[in-house]
Amino acid sequence: MVYPNTPEDPAEFGLDVARTGVVDVEPHKSLLSGKAAVRRATEAVGIPYTYAVAGYLAALALPSIGIGQGEDKAVILGDGDTRVPFVDEGDIATNTVLAAGNPRAENKTLHIRPPANTLSRDELLSLWEKKTGKALQREYIPVDAVLKQTQEAEEAAMPLNMILAIGHAAYVKGEEEAGFEIDPAKGVDASELYPDVKYTTVDEYLNRFL
């Protein structure tokens, strides 16, 4: 069983490229289109595969939600209500290793989306405010403004461009929103496949930043 990769990103962990229909913002659209092409090529030659999809990597995403020393403001893309999964990298690794030897995950997408870790931006901020006892000023960026900022970002600011594009896919369009139903012919939920795996919850993870 192999986990296809590209030179730019040696993993399929993140947003599901099979759901790129909701991604219409560059440069994220082109990145996921490239990954999708790698998937199709893998499938075409008959190589067994499992695509491990985990939404947001906790170590990368959670520090950017508006937490940290002295921060009193949080910027929210869209209305703040779209719920997406945040998963500790160690838990992603555990599920990936287990899936590598499981025929039930072969030639399918493994969706790693523990319910306790699937939260909206507003829910994340409320959780952080409860832990710190400090209210954050919330600035909501309308969808049109998100698109405008993304499209107008200069090439020199490409990291910002990509961050905005990914944020648009996840928080505005709901690419990995918890509610979508997994087609059992194409995918499996890791929490159902491995019910005994204990996840680091977002609540626990945020304690690292206190």
- Residue 173 annotated to the active site: no
Q: Nearest 5°: CA angle at 160, between 157 and 163?
A: 150
The separation between the first and the last C-alpha atoms of the chain, rounded to the nearest angstrom, is 40
Chain-centroid distance of CA 163 in Å reads 12
* Catalytic pick among 35, 130, 131, 173: 35
What SS3 string covers the chain?
CECCCCCCCCCCCCCCHHHHHHCCCCCHHHHHHHHHHHHHHHHHCCCCEEEEECCEEHHHHHHHCCCCCCCCEEEEECCCCCEEEEECHHHHHHHHHHHHCCHHHCCEEEECCCHHHEEEHHHHHHHHHHHHCCCCEEEEECHHHHHHHHHHCCHHHHHHHHHHHHHHHHHHCCCCCCCCCCCCCCEEEHHHHCCCCCCCCHHHHHHHHC
Q: Which residues neighbour 203 within 8 Å (Cβ) at sequence distance 6 or greater?
A: 116, 127
Report, as residue numbers or ranges, the catalytic residues.
35
